[in-house]
Amino acid sequence: MTATPPRPDRLHGPALTWLRMRAVARRHAYVLLRSPHRLFDVTLWPLVDVLLFGALATYVARGHPTAGGKAAGYLIAGIVLWHVVYQSQISVSTGLLEETWSRNLLNLMVTPLREVEYVGGVALFGMFKLALGVGVVAVGALVFYSFDVSTLGFGLVPIAGILLLVGWTIALFVIGVVLRFGAGAEALAWGVMFVVMPLSGIFYPIDSLPTALQPVAQALPTTHAFAALRGLVDGHALAWSQLGIAAAETAVLAVLACWFLIRMLRTFRRRGLITRFT
Amino acid sequence: MPSMDVVLEARGLVKDYRRSRAVDGLDLVVHAGERVALLGPNGAGKTTTLLMLLGVVTPDEGSVHVGGRPIAGDRSHAAEEVGFAAGYLPLAERLRVREYLRLYGNLYGLAHPDAAIDAGLARFRVEHLADAMGTELSSGQRTLVGIVRATLHRPRLLVLDEPTASLDPDVSRRVREGLRAICDEDDTALVVTSHDMAEVERLCERVVFISGGRVVADGTPTEVADRFGHSDLEGVFLHLADDRTDARPPTTAEPGP
């Protein structure tokens, strides 16, 4: 008779949380590497965006050299920074969708993995996708239109930080909706960005929007972050007041998103909605 | 021989769905080392019960404790003591078997799970699959890998939903022998659902029949069969299925795989 081997040692505390987050991030890295069509979101789509808005910027600048040049800067800088929001949002929300597509959600939900560890893991991997996607847009802007986004200076860093947090916050709303309404709601992962984009005035001041929509735009942190970005494009110092408003609105939105997600998870468990995904 | 340590304690579980009551005051206590089958016709409440035991569905009433921890208030810690596999769930896509097992080993807190992975694959005689992609496996191989995943961390409670569904006799035997060995070596409690009554009689020393969301019989296979006046569990199953058909219309609201 052979002796029973000792039980394997398990990690605890912060080391365990970090181990789980890395495991989730690694799982999604394998998925991306082994399904090249998923690279579309982080390579082709950013490239199409920079070509489209760069061409528009070139056309506008050609017709009106002074004002057009400024508008061209808004367009290209706007699309580069927009991809911070887009990539951070998409990577987290499609992280959960990946589990539903591969019917892996039940297997994950019965493990000790905490919700915050899962979101942390997909966000960790999302940082890699973000770097790739934004890198493609920034290099595309430089190669095709000689627009070097780094000339806007260090003011870009806090703006990008706010936009990153906004992207993650929107993803929490999307995950909550998918848990509550099923995989049929997955179109929202992409669709919601097409609502946020025009309302955020990423290429223009929001007084260009219809009057009725301007209060909605004011309530979005992205609006103030992109206003600060346009200030940098105009050669002004970073507008900390705009950034402060953006940070405060992001904090409020993040609290609302967490509250919403917790409620949706409770409903998910109470109504036995896991069976939609098995 | 099962010990007196209570590993799973479910008391007064009730779950209502929109059109029906799926589970109606169910009690279940499982001790360390026990091999228990949860049986009943489709719609009896087995899957809902399992999902409540695992903390994925919240009961409307009642409580579940695993290893003394409440699953409602301390799900993550309670889940550390549980392993789960279902015959109907695929492996995660685009992962090799070893990568897949490492992922779950890490989620259960094993920083270096390779030794446990090798031992688990060897136990079920599927070492040769370590580098295969999950999508290349047959349904039997997927089941075996699923059980290896569920037992990597050597849980105190192993919950298996339909583990031997559509398996050939050889793979079924490997599952049965592997599970017996795990329960004997680690004093692991096993709760399994199955529609294969012969398989249940070979594997489990205790059967719990559920009908209409309630426990209607609980004992050894022989005791339960005798109580219903049948020679085997299949007779009991058909007896309960007939009762249910006569008594009320089939449930349509209960979720299930």
**DSSP state letters, B166-225:** T--HHHHHHHHHHHHHHHHHH--EEEEE-S-HHHHHHH-SEEEEEETTEEEEEE-HHHHH
First CA to last CA distance, chain A: 41
Contact between chains at B110 and A8 (C-beta distance less than 8 A): yes
- Burial of residue A150 (CB within 10 Å: 0-12, 13-18, 19+) is exposed
Q: Which of B92, B99, B186 sits opposite A4 (nearest CB)?
A: B186
Q: What integer pLDDT is reported at residue A41 of this predicted model? A: 83
pLDDT, tens only, A171-203: 999 999 999 998 888 888 889 999 999 999 999
Q: Number of Cβ pairs closer than 8 Å across A and B?
A: 123
Q: State the pLDDT at residue A4.
A: 60
Report CB contact under 8 Å: A104, B92. yes
**Looking at beta carbons, which residues of chain A come within 8 Å of B116?**
8
Q: What is the least distance, in Å, from the CA of B162 to any CA of chain A?
A: 13
What does pTM read for this prediction? 0.89
User: What is the chain B residue with the closest CA to A27?
Assistant: B103
**With an 8 Å Cβ cutoff, are B89 and A274 in contact?**
no
Report the pLDDT value the prediction gives residue B247, as an integer from 0 to 100. Answer: 47
- Give the whole-angstrom CA distance, residue A198 versus residue A214: 11
- Classify each residue of A84-103 as buried b or exposed e, where b means 16 or more C-beta atoms within 10 Å of its C-beta: bbbbbbbbbbbbbbbbbebb
Quickly count: other Cβ atoms within 10 Å of residue B208's Cβ. 23
Q: With CB atoms and an 8 Å threshold, state whether B56 touches A7.
A: no
- Give the per-residue pLDDT at B250: 41
Tell me if A110 and B79 make a contact (CB, 8 A cut-off). Answer: yes
A262 to each of A177, A256, A259, how far by Cα in Å? 11, 10, 5
Q: Is A38 on the interface with B (CB under 8 A)?
A: no
Closest approach of A263 to chain B, Cα-based (Å): 13
Provide the shortest C-alpha distance from residue A16 to chain B (in Å).
6
pLDDT of chain B, 257 residues: tens digit per residue? 445 699 999 999 999 988 889 999 999 999 999 999 999 988 889 999 999 999 999 999 999 999 999 999 889 999 999 999 998 888 887 899 999 999 999 999 999 999 999 999 999 999 999 999 988 898 889 999 999 999 999 999 999 998 887 788 888 888 999 999 999 999 999 999 988 888 899 999 999 999 989 999 999 999 999 998 888 888 888 888 887 665 444 444 444 44
- Strand-pairing partners, residue B160, are B85, B192
Residue in A84, A97, A101, A100 with CA at minimum distance from that of residue A193: A84
- Which residues in chain A touch residue B54, judged by CB atoms under 8 angstroms apart? 109-110
Inter-chain touch B102–A10, beta carbons under 8 Å? no
Largest CA distance in chain B: 55
CB burial of residue B34 (10 Å; 0-12, 13-18, 19+):
buried
CB-closest option in A19, A34, A266 to B94: A34
What are the chain B neighbours of A104 within 8 Å (beta carbons)?
Answer: 89-90, 92-93
Residue in A234, A174, A170 with CA at minimum distance from that of residue A200 = A170
The Cα B133–Cα B98 span in angstroms is 9
User: Contacts of residue A277 in chain B, CB cutoff 8 Å?
Assistant: none
For residue B191, list its beta bridge partners: B36, B159
What residues in A contact B108, CB-CB < 8 Å?
Answer: 10, 111-112
Residue corresponding to tokens 């009551």: B21
What is the distance in angstroms between the Cα of B81 and the nearest Cα belonging to chain A?
9
Distances (CA, A) of B69 to A60, B8, B9, B52: 66, 9, 10, 14
Q: Cα–Cα distance between B159 and B76 in angstroms, integer?
A: 16
Q: Does B54 touch chain A (CB under 8 A)?
A: yes
Spatial distance between the Cα atoms of B151 and B149, rounded to a whole number of angstroms: 6
The pLDDT of residue A3 is 56
Residues of chain B contacting residue A27, judged by C-beta atoms under 8 Å apart:
92, 95, 99, 103
Pick from B84, B88, B256: which is nearest to A110 by CB? Answer: B84
- The shortest C-alpha distance from A164 to chain B (Å) reads 26
**Is A275 near chain B, with CB under 8 Å?**
yes
d(CA A119, CA A175): 10
CB-CB under 8 Å, A12 with B79: no
Query: Which chain B residues are closer than 8 Å to A110 by Cβ?
Result: 54-56, 79, 82, 84, 159
Six-digit token string for B132: 């295969």
Question: Which tokens is B62 given?
Answer: 């009642």
B79 touching A (Cβ < 8 Å)? yes
B49 interfaces chain A, CB cutoff of 8 Å: no
User: Hey, what amino acid is at A136?
Assistant: V
* Min Cα separation B76/chain A (Å): 4
Distance in Å, alpha carbon of A8 to nearest chain B alpha carbon? 7
Of all residues in chain B, the one with the smallest CA distance to A35 is B94
- DSSP letters, A192-226, are HHHHHHHHTTSSS-GGGS-GGGHHHHHT-HHHHHH
Residue B4: the pLDDT is 66
ipTM of the complex as predicted: 0.88
Those residues of chain A that have pLDDT short of 70 are: 1-6
Residue A37 touches chain B, beta carbons under 8 Å: no
Distance CA B103, CA B154 (A): 16
How close is the nearest chain A Cα to the Cα of B164, in Å? 17
Interface membership of A270 toward B (CB under 8 Å)? yes
Residue A61 pLDDT = 83
The confidence score (pLDDT) of residue B246 equals 54
